[in-house]
Amino acid sequence: MRESRQVFEKMTMVGALNGALRDALDEDPKVVVQGEDIGRLGGVFRVTDGLQHRFGKDRVVDSPLAESGIVGTAIGLALRGFRPVVEIQFDGFVFPAFNQIVTQLAKMHARSLGKVRLPVVVRIPYGGGIGAIEHHSESPEAYFMHTAGLRVASPATADDAYWMLRQAIASDDPVIFLEPKRRYWDKCEVNLTTEPAPLHKARVVRPGRDLTLAAYGPSVKLCLAAAEAGAAEGRSLEVLDLRSLSPLDTDTVEWSVRRTRRMVVVHEAPVFVGAGAEIAARVQERCFYHLEAPVLRVGGFHAPYPPSRLEEEYLPGLDRVMHAVDQAFAS
Amino acid sequence: MELVQLLTPEGERFEHPDHPLETTPEELRGLYRDMLLTRRFDAEAVTLQRQGELGLWASLLGQEAAQIGSGRATCPDDYVFPCYREHGVAWTRGVDPLNLLGMYRGVNHGGWDPDANNFHLYTIVIGPPLLHAVGYAMGMAREGADSAVLAYFGDGASSQGDVAEAFTFATVNAAPVVFFCQNNQWAISTPTSHQTRAPIHRRSAGWGFPGIHVDGNDVLACLAVTRSALERARRGEGPTLIEAHTYRMGPHATSDEPRRYRDDSERQTWEAKDPLLRLRAHLEKHGHTDAAYFEDLAQEAEQLALRVREGVRAMPDPDPAAMFRHVYVDEHAQVSEEQREYEAFQATFVQEGPQ
Ligand SMILES: Cc1ncc(C[n+]2csc(CCOP(=O)(O)OP(=O)(O)O)c2C)c(N)n1
Ligand SMILES: [Mg+2]
């Protein structure tokens, strides 16, 4: 653990994910990757670019167009001792596989009284902000968080993307791995020798004193911008990258809120029964008397994800985050 | 099973014992016009996407005959369930091309009234609409209607579980539905050989209903086989599967880079089978057309392109309040509350910001 921190070249999140898959395929012959158009094309986002060429068609598999089949056969492969990493092309196309994920993938370990392990990773590019057509911009995390047996994680940066995907592949539990597609092309330095944190640990990515902005995936960058804007107004905002949604690192959330006494949770998914609802409930259970203001949530509306020309209205933006911050201070 | 073909790539006309087709010169000219106008507005949409007027476009280039032939086989009371590339079918149903472009521009998710032309909304998710088509057909049969449903899907879609379930429901209910598969050889980068080892049209045998393999670049053959399959459905004899052998000449959609996965030479071989050229050869050979016909048509095509271009550019961005509209039929507390909050928040800008 005490390795000297070696900084590698700047990488995009796509590059980091590609590197994680490559290294996992290299290190463990049981790792297999499957999904639609992931072979020759390298995936519609090129996350698997070059992997089929390098590892062959048996390990990097262009699947038929059937998500239930992709996840269902991944379960079978896992039963046979493989570690499948599957790609769902876009968030909105995971639902044909929902049955396999919820009734099978999530429950088999428990049903077998621990005898069966399903180390399956379901990678899903998710979230909006790329001007896409219907079903290509959604944030379905709450469905998976609500299902016991699934671990759910979402990186916000290329560095985390590399390590969290490695950790997800190493996990013996199934992991729903949500990749914030609008951050796919953002670059940051990736350290390929040292894990930044365990998979299920939240991290303070900007310390502050007056309010905690809690976010994950695509919204972390937004919250960092909000903290910057807050600083200009003389407010010290802490930004917490939750990283994992199941389990939720409630201890770190509590530790932060006890100091800052205010919290705003931000996500792209609808606020109604979203991740923020769970976080807010836990915070009031654990630190009610430390709070100066109600925990507020900023997110999508209880409406279908709108056509792309309206998505900036639907998605939480800097204005809406700052508005919530103002409200928290007004209480 | 042999490929049903009524018109060779050279424009030679054949008769097929099982699929007779009588056509007047006027009908032939009409089919050519349909294909040409569809190709023209499709090309205009590609250009509009490059200019940033559309977010995306899925071109039908190369599939005009499959779509116009099958679409023209429908009667007004029939009902069509498309995927997202069926611009030619939409044309035959009288759907304004501008309706199709709205969702690709990102101003709506379809938005047209499916019942206005008996042409359902485009569906991006692959698989579900085939089941809707079967259910609709079951409803038609239950009401004793003398009509049928035509449902489109792709070679890639053929792998989806929903498609298998659609076949099951159609066959056990003897539903008046025709499944029309445009096998354009590709599902994004995935060739048909990765979806199935047996020809798609043979699949229906396992379900106990007929399958037809048709030359998808032959508009007359597509018209003939779809017409007879729809008639069979209307007679109460149940579903038919049609596989149209065709080719997606362009990228999957404007965002795609086909050079990464397929050879350009493949496209060149298909160029020789162009659906428009062969009908044109036939028309000219038989003196059904003169130079004036093609000139007028070219002009009409340019007018259509202009109308599409101007119509798209004039499409306003939707009112943000549209996000909250039609989520439910009746008032819903959470939606109303969120809309009020959203509007109150927006109002703070109107007051503070520059007008
Ligand atoms: C359920 C689902 N999974 C994945 C996708 C992404 N996707 C869009 S089109 C396409 C390929 C479709 O191929 P095919 O059915 O042959 O139709 P074509 O595009 O050739 O007309 C894929 C994988 C989708 N739209 N829906
Ligand atoms: Mg196809």
* Chain segment B185-204, per-residue pLDDT in tens: 999 999 999 999 999 999 99
Domain shared by A43 and A184, yes or no: yes
> Mutation test of ligand 1: which of A41, A62, A87, A93 has the most ligand atoms closer than 8 Å to its C-beta?
A93
Domain shared by A184 and A293, yes or no: no
B136 among known catalytic residues = no
Q: Tens digits of per-residue pLDDT, B294-305?
A: 999 999 999 999
Domain shared by A157 and A224, yes or no: no
Q: Tens digits of per-residue pLDDT, B16-59?
A: 999 999 999 999 999 999 999 999 999 999 999 999 999 999 99
- Look-up of token digits 């007008």: B355
Reply yes or no on whether the pLDDT at A7 is more than 80: no
Contact criterion met (CB < 8 Å) for B106 and A96: no
Cis-peptide into A247, omega within 30 deg: yes
Q: Where are the alpha helices (DSSP H) in A171-234?
A: 219-232
* Pairing of the two strands A203-206 and B79-81: unpaired
Pick from B104, B131, B132: which is nearest to B120 by CA?
B132
Tell me how far apart the alpha carbons of residues B106 and B318 are, in angstroms, rounded to a whole number: 9
Q: What is the amino acid identity at position B70?
A: S
Q: Supply the pLDDT for residue A82.
A: 98
With beta carbons under 8 A apart, name residues in chain A contacting B156.
64-65
Average pLDDT over residues A249-266: 98
Average pLDDT over residues B165-182: 98
Q: How far is the CA of A98 from the centre of ligand 1 (A)?
A: 18
Q: Tens digits of per-residue pLDDT, B36-45?
A: 999 999 999 9
Is A3 inside any structural domain? no
Q: Supply the pLDDT for residue A23.
A: 97
CB A65 near ligand 1, within 6 Å: yes
Q: How far is the CA of B126 from the centre of ligand 1 (A)?
A: 6
Reply yes or no on whether the pLDDT at B354 is more than 70: no
Q: Supply the pLDDT for residue A8.
A: 72
Residue closest by Cα to atom 13 of ligand 1: B187
pTM of the model: 0.97
With beta carbons under 8 A apart, name residues in chain B contacting A39.
189
Tell me how far apart the alpha carbons of residues A283 and A174 are, in angstroms, rounded to a whole number: 27
Q: Is B254 helix (H, G, I), strand (E, B) or coil?
A: coil
Q: How far is the CA of A300 from the centre of ligand 1 (A)?
A: 27
Reply yes or no on whether the pLDDT at B353 is more than 80: no
Domain shared by A33 and A109, yes or no: yes
Is A198 inside any structural domain? no
Reply yes or no on whether the pLDDT at A2 is more than 60: no
| Per-position b or e across A143-172, b if 16+ CB within 10 A of its CB | bbbebebbbbbbbbbbbbbbbbbbbbbbbe
Residues in chain A: 331
Domain shared by A159 and A18, yes or no: yes
Domain shared by A133 and A163, yes or no: yes
Please tell me if residue A132 touches chain B, with a CB cutoff of 8 Å: yes
Q: Supply the pLDDT for residue B145.
A: 95
Is A308 inside any structural domain? yes
Instruction: Convert B111-138 into a string of H (helix), E (strand) and C (coil).
Output: CCCHHHHCECCCCCCCCHHHHHHHHHHH
Reply yes or no on whether the pLDDT at B240 is more than 90: yes
Contact criterion met (CB < 8 Å) for A303 and B190: no
Q: Supply the pLDDT for residue B92.
A: 98
Domain shared by A120 and A209, yes or no: no
Q: Are A269 and A275 in contact (CB under 8 A)?
A: yes
Average pLDDT over residues A6-28: 92
Residue closest by Cα to atom 19 of ligand 1: B187
Average pLDDT over residues B161-174: 98
Domain shared by A177 and A207, yes or no: no
Average pLDDT over residues A182-205: 94
Q: Supply the pLDDT for residue B352.
A: 53
Q: Are A248 and A278 in contact (CB under 8 A)?
A: yes
Contact criterion met (CB < 8 Å) for B124 and A133: yes
Q: pLDDT-derived band of residue A1, with 50, 70 and 90 as boundaries?
A: very low
> Which run of H or E residues covers position B243?
strand B240-245
Q: Supply the pLDDT for residue A9.
A: 75
CA A82, A83, A89, A91 torsion: positive or negative? Answer: positive
Closest ligand 1 atom, residue B157 Cα: 15
- Name the burial class of residue B156, with classes exposed (0-12), middle (13-18) and buried (19+) by CB atoms within 10 angstroms of its CB: buried
Tell me how far apart the alpha carbons of residues B96 and B304 are, in angstroms, rounded to a whole number: 11
* Pairing of the two strands A60-62 and A263-270: unpaired
Tell me how far apart the alpha carbons of residues A149 and A20 are, in angstroms, rounded to a whole number: 24
> What percent of chain A clears pLDDT 90, i.e. is strictly above it?
95
Reply yes or no on whether the pLDDT at A4 is more than 80: no
Is A39 inside any structural domain? yes
Q: Supply the pLDDT for residue A53.
A: 98
Pick from A147, A136, A158: which is nearest to A106 by CA?
A147
A136 among known catalytic residues = yes
Average pLDDT over residues A106-121: 98
Is A179 inside any structural domain? yes
Tell me how far apart the alpha carbons of residues B246 and B70 are, in angstroms, rounded to a whole number: 13
> Mutation test of ligand 1: which of B57, B67, B155, B188 has the most ligand atoms closer than 8 Å to its C-beta?
B188
Domain region containing A241: 203-330
Contacts for A37 with CB less than 8 Å, ≥ 6 apart? A43, A44, A62, A89, B188, B189, B190
Domain shared by A147 and A293, yes or no: no
Reply yes or no on whether the pLDDT at B1 is more than 80: no
CB atoms within 10 A of CB A196: 17
Please pick, among A53, A109, A136, A290, the residue that the annotation labels catalytic.
A136
Reported ipTM: the value is: 0.96
Q: Are B133 and B118 in contact (CB under 8 A)?
A: no
Q: Tens digits of per-residue pLDDT, A211-220?
A: 999 999 999 9
Q: Tens digits of per-residue pLDDT, B207-222?
A: 999 999 999 999 999 9
Q: Supply the pLDDT for residue A5.
A: 47
* Pairing of the two strands A244-246 and B186-187: unpaired
* Total tally of structural domains belonging to chain A: 2
Is A196 inside any structural domain? no
Reply yes or no on whether the pLDDT at B63 is more than 70: yes
CATH code assigned at A87: 3.40.50.970
Domain shared by A145 and A49, yes or no: yes
Query: Which residue is closest to A300 within chain B, CA to CA?
Result: B338
Q: Is A128 helix (H, G, I), strand (E, B) or coil?
A: coil
Is A312 inside any structural domain? yes
Ligand that comes closest to the CA of residue B158: 1
Reply yes or no on whether the pLDDT at B351 is more than 80: no
Closest ligand 1 atom, residue B183 Cα: 16
Q: Are A184 and A218 in contact (CB under 8 A)?
A: no
Q: What fold, for B25-314?
A: Rossmann fold (3.40.50)
Tell me how far apart the alpha carbons of residues A235 and B107 are, in angstroms, rounded to a whole number: 38
Q: pLDDT-derived band of residue A250, with 50, 70 and 90 as boundaries?
A: very high
Domain shared by A144 and A236, yes or no: no
DSSP state of B239: -
Q: Tens digits of per-residue pLDDT, A63-78?
A: 999 999 999 999 999 9
Q: Are B201 and B263 in contact (CB under 8 A)?
A: no
Structure tokens at A149: 């047996």
Q: Supply the pLDDT for residue A169.
A: 98
**B352 backbone dihedrals φ, ψ, rounded to 5°:** -85, -40
DSSP state of A288: G
Whole-number average pLDDT of chain B: 96
Name the residue among A96, A135, A323 with its Cβ closest to that of B161.
A96
Q: Supply the pLDDT for residue B355.
A: 45
Please tell me if residue A210 touches chain B, with a CB cutoff of 8 Å: no
**B186 backbone dihedrals φ, ψ, rounded to 5°:** -140, 145
Tell me how far apart the alpha carbons of residues A53 and A25 are, in angstroms, rounded to a whole number: 12
Q: Is A121 helix (H, G, I), strand (E, B) or coil?
A: strand
Is A2 inside any structural domain? no
CB B156 near ligand 1, within 6 Å: yes
Ligand that comes closest to the CA of residue B153: 1
Q: How far is the CA of B328 from the centre of ligand 1 (A)?
A: 28
Beta bridge partners of A153: A177, A244
Q: Are B49 and B56 in contact (CB under 8 A)?
A: yes
Q: Where are the alpha helices (DSSP H) in B173-287?
A: 203-207, 219-234, 264-271, 275-285
Average pLDDT over residues A250-273: 98
Pick from B252, B310, B319, B321: which is nearest to B53 by CA?
B310
Q: pLDDT-derived band of residue A192, with 50, 70 and 90 as boundaries?
A: confident
Tell me how far apart the alpha carbons of residues B192 and B156 are, in angstroms, rounded to a whole number: 7
Contact criterion met (CB < 8 Å) for A306 and B335: no
Contacts for A312 with CB less than 8 Å, ≥ 6 apart? none
Q: Supply the pLDDT for residue A145.
A: 98
Beta bridge partners of B79: B149
**A292 backbone dihedrals φ, ψ, rounded to 5°:** -95, -15
Tell me how far apart the alpha carbons of residues A215 and A204 are, in angstroms, rounded to a whole number: 10
Tell me how far apart the alpha carbons of residues B355 and B352 are, in angstroms, rounded to a whole number: 9
Q: Supply the pLDDT for residue A194.
A: 86
Q: Tens digits of per-residue pLDDT, B298-343?
A: 999 999 999 999 999 999 999 999 999 999 999 999 999 999 999 9
Average pLDDT over residues A12-40: 98
Measured N-to-C along each axis, helices B275-285 and B64-72 cross at an angle, to the nearest 10 degrees, of 70
Q: A68 vs chain B: nearest CA distance in angstroms?
A: 8
CATH code assigned at A293: 3.40.50.920
Domain shared by A223 and A259, yes or no: yes
